[in-house]
Amino acid sequence: MLDFDKLDRTIHEKGRLAIMTLLATRPSWPFQDLKAELKMSDGNLVTHLRTLHQGGYVAVTKEVLDRPQTSYALTMKGRNSFQDYLRVLEEIVKTGRS
Amino acid sequence: MNERNEAEEHLRVIRTLMERATIYRAVSAPTALVGGMLAVVIATGSLMWLRNHPRSTAVPHFALWWILALCITSAANTFYLWRAARLRGEPLFSSSLRLAVRALFPPCLTAAVISLPSILAGRDSHLLAIVWSAFYGLALLATAHFSPRSLVVLGWSFLLAALFALAANHACYPKYIGAEWLMGITFGLFHLVYAVAAWPRKTA
């Protein structure tokens, strides 16, 4: 029997799930682009990104181009965890249908 | 909400976010309609002029007419993209638009550099039509990894039409497939077909 207990709780939170989803679409995302796409406040986004970074799901790159820019990318652990998370969700849906 | 419904809702949110982040239509359907109609008008006008001047092989100021059409269509595209971005609550220069510009720029720059001598000399309309169609097709194909399928099909249509015209012109030399015909078919007809196919439909 599959249930929500098998889902990764770090990813399952709505805001962090949205961040992980976007990070899965491109090699890296600048902070400002993530903020614009998700329409989150700076504080909220920073808190979620810090949680994901501390969990080893997200890598942070700070660089100075014409101005300082912080970019975020999924780590290998983050990508695998996201795929596992999707698989569990799909299995829950399939189990519910059968 | 039971677990299955909640799982479905999460998957739907993930899918929507992924599509929003990865699919970007750099040429909107209304822009294609404006550009297509403009191209048909210019091509038809040019062909009528040539019919009335049987000794002429090319329309005067061929390149200028089409550059004017490009400017009008680009302005229309900017307006429609801005309007669509505003409706989504996003800035015009979103990360998706920047991604599209980065993909479109190299083929467009190459086309401009190859065309420049012919534009300045006011000749080689056949070459210009082939170069513009081919590189516009390549520019659209450069956005293939984040464009909807209809835009990729449009890119291939331009490229194949240009290559066909190039091959046919070699085979039929000194009789060419008219530049006006090629521009009318590609930038006119193809854009109109794309506009119909990609026009936003209201869902019930």
Q: Least CB-CB distance to B22: which of A17, A25, A96?
A: A25
Strands A68-74 and A29-30: antiparallel
How far apart CA B79 and CA A85 sit, in angstroms, is 40
Cβ-proximal residues to A62 (8 Å cutoff; 6+ apart), any chain: A68, A69, A70, A71
Task: Please tell me if residue B52 touches chain A, with a CB cutoff of 8 Å.
Answer: no
Q: Would you call B83 an interface residue with chain A, using a CB distance cutoff of 8 Å?
A: no
Q: Are B158 and B137 in contact (CB under 8 A)?
A: yes
Q: Which residues in chain A have their CB less than 8 angstroms from residue B4's CB?
A: 92-93, 95-97
Taking Cα atoms as reference points, which of A65, A66, A83 lies closest to residue A74?
A83
DSSP state of A90: H
CB contact under 8 A, A92 and B20: no
Tell me what pLDDT residue B204 has.
41
Nearest CA in chain B to A87: B11
| Helix, coil or strand: residue B97 | helix
pLDDT score recorded for residue B159: 96
Q: What is the ipTM of this complex?
A: 0.74
Q: What is the pLDDT of residue B203?
A: 44
Q: What is the rounded distance in angstroms from the CA atom of residue B164 to the CA atom of residue B130?
A: 9
**Least confident stretch, A33-47, A71-85, B85-99:** B85-99
The percentage of residues in chain A with a pLDDT greater than 70, rounded to a whole number, is: 93
- pLDDT tens string B30-85: 999 999 999 999 999 888 887 787 766 666 778 888 999 999 999 999 998 888 87
Query: Which chain A residue shows the shortest CA-CA distance from B8?
Result: A93
Q: Residues of A near B (CB-CB distance < 8 A)?
A: 3-4, 12, 14, 17-18, 21-22, 24-26, 29-30, 33, 36-37, 39, 86, 89-90, 92-93, 95-97
CA angle B186, B189, B194 (to 5 degrees): 95
> What pLDDT is recorded for position A53?
95
pLDDT of A1 higher than 70? no
**Contact, B43 vs B191, CB < 8 A?**
no
Residue B134 confidence (pLDDT): 96
Which residue is listed with tokens 């467009």?
B108
With a cut of 70, say whether residue A23 has pLDDT above it.
Answer: yes
Residues of B in contact with A90 (CB under 8 A): 7, 11
Chunked into runs of 10 residues, chain B (204 residues) has average pLDDT values of 76 80 79 94 87 71 88 92 78 80 93 89 84 95 86 94 87 71 93 89 51
Q: Do A93 and B7 lie within an 8 Å CB cutoff?
A: yes
Q: Find, among B196, B168, B195, the residue nearest to B182 by Cα.
A: B168
Among chain B residues, CA nearest to A34: B95
Q: In the structure, what pLDDT confidence band is assigned to residue A90 with cuts at 50, 70 and 90?
A: confident
Residue pair B63/B128 in contact (Cβ under 8 Å)? The answer is: yes
Q: Rounded to whole angstroms, what are the CA distances from B55 to B77, B172, B179? A: 38, 20, 16
